[in-house]
C-alpha cells in the first residue's frame, strides 16, 4: 500500500472518536483494500453550495463523527480569528436523518469543550429555524445537521454566520483550513452553564410572525400536505391551523420522520413522481392544492388541480406566483433576487414594479446576501427554494407554503386559481418555458469526470442548440454579471433564451438549466405559444443530452 496513504489512514484512525468507524477503516487496512481507502481519503468533504454533504461512512470523504468533530473545531477557530464574540453562542439543530442525532451530539460536545455557549434545538426540526434563531437571538453562528433532499445514505453540515446567512468565501476556506489541522478535541457535557435548550417561546415567535403576515381569517381552500418523511409535518400542521386553513389533509404514509424515505426513490419534491402519493390523497380528499416540503422543510413543492388534471408547478412558476404577490407594496429599500440558473422573468416583473433586482450565484448563501444594504423582500431559486420574509436569511419552505396558500386563497375568493395567475403573467411578459437536464454519476471519480466535461464545453462550445444559434458563451469561472467566479458555462440563445451548464454543488451530478422565451402573447395565443416553446425546449434538451453524455 502507498506509504503516504497508509500514514493518512493511521492518523485518521488515531483521532477518530467512533469505535465502529475505526473498525471499518482497520478492516480495509487488513484486507489491503487500497482502492476503497483512496475513495475515502482522496477527496475530503468541503463546503459546497449548501455546506458539507456526503455519504455516511468512515474517512474524510464521508460524513462521520470525525468529520463533524473536525468541522466544528474549524468553526470555533474561524470565529476566534474573525473576532466574533463566542460568548453570544451557537445554535445547533438537526433533522431526522440516520446519523443526525449522533452528529448533533458531537457538535454540541466539541463546542462545549471549547468553551462556546450552546443553544440546542429541543428535537429534530426544520432547517429554517436555525438561521431564524441566529438572527432572533443575535448569536455568533448556527450549525444544522442535515442533507436536505439528498438520498438516504447522505448527511450534511450547514453553517450560518452571525447574519443568519450560510457562509461564503473566505469563511468556508478558513473553516476548511482549520479542519485540515484539527485533532482530538476536548468534549464538554450538557450539564454545564454554557448549555441550554432553545426556549420554545423563541420558536413560537417565528409562528406568530409568519401567521400574522401570511395568515387569513378563515379559508375554504382544500389543501393536501406532505413533509416527504421529513421534520416539517408537525410544525406545518400547527401553522396551517393557526393561519386559518381548516381543510387540510395529510399524507399519513409520509407524515412521520423516517430517514429511509421508504415511499420515495429520492426525497426531493423536484423528482418525477415525488408528489404521486400526495396527489392521490388530494383526489381522495377533493383538495385543489398540494403542498410539499422536502425532508428538512427548507424547500416548497406544489401541484394545482385543473380541468385537465393535476399540474405540478416548476420552481420558477412558484417563484413567479410568489413574486406577483410580494412585489405589491415593495418599498425603496426592497430588493428581489434569484439565481443565475433560474428564470429571467423575475427581472422583468421587478422592472415593471420599479423594484430593485439582483442576480446571484446558485445557492441561497448568495441569494440571501444579494440585497446588499437593502432588504431582501423576495428571493428564489428554481430548485424550489424561496425566501419570503427577511426574518429568515435562507430559503424557507414553511413560510413560503403559507405565502402561496394565502395567494391561492385570495385568488379563489375572486373566482380564480394559481393557474389563472400564471396565465396572466406569461401573457403579459411572454412565455418562459424551462427544463433541466441532470446527469448523475455514481461511480468513484465522478466529480472529476463532470469537471472534465464542463472544461470541454468551455473549450469547444456548440454553435447551435435545437436549431437556435448560440449567440454568446460566458465562462462563469472567470466571473460574470458582477458575480464571483463559479464553475459553469452560460450559452446565450439570442432573444430566444439561454442554457447554463454547471456541476451540482450538493451531489455528483452535471446539470443543465434551459430556458426558451417568447414575446408577450394574447390569451387566445397562449396555449399555442406554450406548445411551440415546449417543442423548442425539447429540441434544445435533446442536443444538450447528446453533447453532455458522460
Residue 507's SS3 state is coil
Report yes or no: 343 and 320 within 8 Å, Cβ to Cβ: yes
Catalytic one of 61, 140, 148, 165: 148
- Report the phi/psi class of residue 479: left, alpha or beta, with left for phi > 0 and alpha for psi in -120 to 50: left
**DSSP secondary structure, 221-245, as one string:** --EEEE-TTSS-HHHHHHHHHHTTB
Residue 469's SS3 state is strand
- How far is Cα 369 from Cα 383, in angstroms, rounded to an integer? 18
Which residues have CB under 8 Å from 336's CB, separation 6+?
323, 326, 327, 330, 346, 349, 350, 355, 356, 357, 358, 376, 377, 378, 379
How many residues appear in the chain?
550
Other CB atoms within a 10 A radius of the CB of residue 524 amount to 8
148 included as an active-site residue: yes
Report yes or no: 67 and 98 within 8 Å, Cβ to Cβ: no
Report yes or no: 197 and 225 within 8 Å, Cβ to Cβ: no
Report yes or no: 107 and 158 within 8 Å, Cβ to Cβ: no
List 339's β-bridge partners, or say none. 360
List 497's β-bridge partners, or say none. 516
Q: What is the dihedral of CA 342, 412, 273, 512, to 10 degrees?
A: -10
Residue 309's SS3 state is strand
Report yes or no: 510 and 433 within 8 Å, Cβ to Cβ: no
| Residue 327 DSSP symbol | T
Chain-centre distance of CA 79, in angstroms?
25
Which residues are known to be catalytic?
148
Amino acid at each position: 500500500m502507498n506509504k503516504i496513504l497508509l500514514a493518512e489512514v493511521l492518523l485518521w484512525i488515531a483521532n477518530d472518536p467512533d469505535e465502529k468507524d475505526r473498525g471499518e477503516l482497520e478492516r480495509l487496512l487488513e484486507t489491503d483494500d487500497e482502492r476503497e481507502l483512496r475513495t475515502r481519503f482522496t477527496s475530503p468533504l468541503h463546503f459546497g453550495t449548501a455546506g458539507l454533504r456526503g455519504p455516511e461512512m468512515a474517512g474524510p470523504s464521508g460524513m462521520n463523527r470525525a468529520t463533524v468533530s473536525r468541522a466544528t473545531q474549524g468553526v470555533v477557530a474561524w470565529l476566534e480569528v474573525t473576532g466574533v464574540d463566542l460568548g453570544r453562542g451557537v445554535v445547533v439543530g438537526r433533522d431526522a436523518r440516520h446519523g443526525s442525532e449522533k452528529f448533533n451530539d458531537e457538535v454540541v460536545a466539541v463546542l462545549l469543550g471549547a468553551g462556546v455557549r450552546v443553544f440546542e434545538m429541543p428535537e429534530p426540526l426544520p432547517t429554517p429555524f436555525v438561521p431564524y434563531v441566529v438572527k432572533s437571538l443575535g448569536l455568533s453562528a448556527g450549525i444544522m445537521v442535515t442533507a436536505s433532499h439528498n438520498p438516504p445514505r447522505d448527511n450534511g453540515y450547514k453553517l450560518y454566520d452571525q447574519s443568519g446567512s450560510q457562509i461564503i468565501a473566505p469563511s468556508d476556506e478558513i473553516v476548511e483550513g482549520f479542519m485540515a489541522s484539527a485533532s482530538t478535541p476536548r468534549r464538554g457535557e450538557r450539564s454545564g452553564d454554557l448549555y441550554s435548550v432553545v426556549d420554545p417561546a423563541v420558536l413560537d415567535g417565528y409562528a406568530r410572525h409568519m401567521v400574522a403576515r401570511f395568515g387569513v381569517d378563515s379559508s375554504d381552500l382544500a389543501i393536501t400536505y406532505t413533509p416527504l418523511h421529513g421534520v416539517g409535518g408537525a410544525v406545518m400542521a400547527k401553522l396551517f391551523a393557526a393561519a386559518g386553513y381548516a381543510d387540510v389533509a395529510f399524507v399519513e404514509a409520509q407524515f412521520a420522520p423516517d430517514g429511509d424515505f421508504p415511499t420515495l426513490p429520492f426525497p426531493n419534491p423536484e423528482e418525477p413522481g415525488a408528489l404521486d402519493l400526495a396527489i392521490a390523497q388530494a383526489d381522495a380528499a377533493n383538495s385543489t392544492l398540494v403542498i410539499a416540503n422536502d425532508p428538512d422543510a427548507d424547500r416548497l413543492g406544489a401541484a394545482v388541480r385543473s380541468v385537465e388534471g393535476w399540474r405540478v408547478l416548476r420552481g420558477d412558476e412558484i417563484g413567479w406566483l410568489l413574486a406577483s404577490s410580494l412585489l405589491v407594496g415593495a418599498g425603496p429599500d426592497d430588493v428581489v433576487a434569484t439565481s443565475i440558473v433560474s428564470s429571467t422573468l423575475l427581472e422583468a416583473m421587478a422592472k415593471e414594479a420599479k423594484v430593485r433586482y439582483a442576480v446571484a450565484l446558485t445557492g441561497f448563501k448568495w441569494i440571501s446576501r444579494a440585497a446588499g444594504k437593502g432588504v431582501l423582500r423576495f428571493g428564489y431559486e428554481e430548485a424550489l427554494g424561496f425566501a419570503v420574509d427577511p426574518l429568515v436569511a435562507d430559503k424557507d419552505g414553511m413560510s413560503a407554503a403559507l405565502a402561496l396558500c394565502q395567494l391561492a386563497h385570495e385568488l379563489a375568493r375572486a373566482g380564480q386559481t394559481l393557474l389563472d395567475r400564471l396565465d396572466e403573467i406569461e401573457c403579459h411578459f411572454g412565455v418562459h418555458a424551462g427544463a433541466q437536464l441532470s446527469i448523475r454519476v455514481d461511480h468513484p471519480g465522478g466529480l472529476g469526470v463532470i469537471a472534465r466535461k464542463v472544461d470541454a464545453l468551455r473549450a469547444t462550445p456548440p454553435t447551435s442548440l435545437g436549431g437556435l444559434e448560440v449567440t454568446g458563451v460566458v465562462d462563469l469561472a472567470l466571473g460574470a454579471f458582477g458575480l464571483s467566479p463559479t464553475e459553469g458555462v452560460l450559452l446565450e440563445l439570442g432573444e430566444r433564451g439561454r442554457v447554463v451548464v454547471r456541476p451540482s454543488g450538493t451531489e455528483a451530478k452535471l446539470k443543465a438549466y434551459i430556458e426558451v422565451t417568447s414575446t408577450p402573447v394574447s390569451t387566445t395565443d397562449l396555449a399555442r405559444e406554450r406548445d411551440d416553446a415546449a417543442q423548442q425546449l425539447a429540441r434544445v434538451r435533446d442536443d444538450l443530452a447528446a453533447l453532455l453524455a458522460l
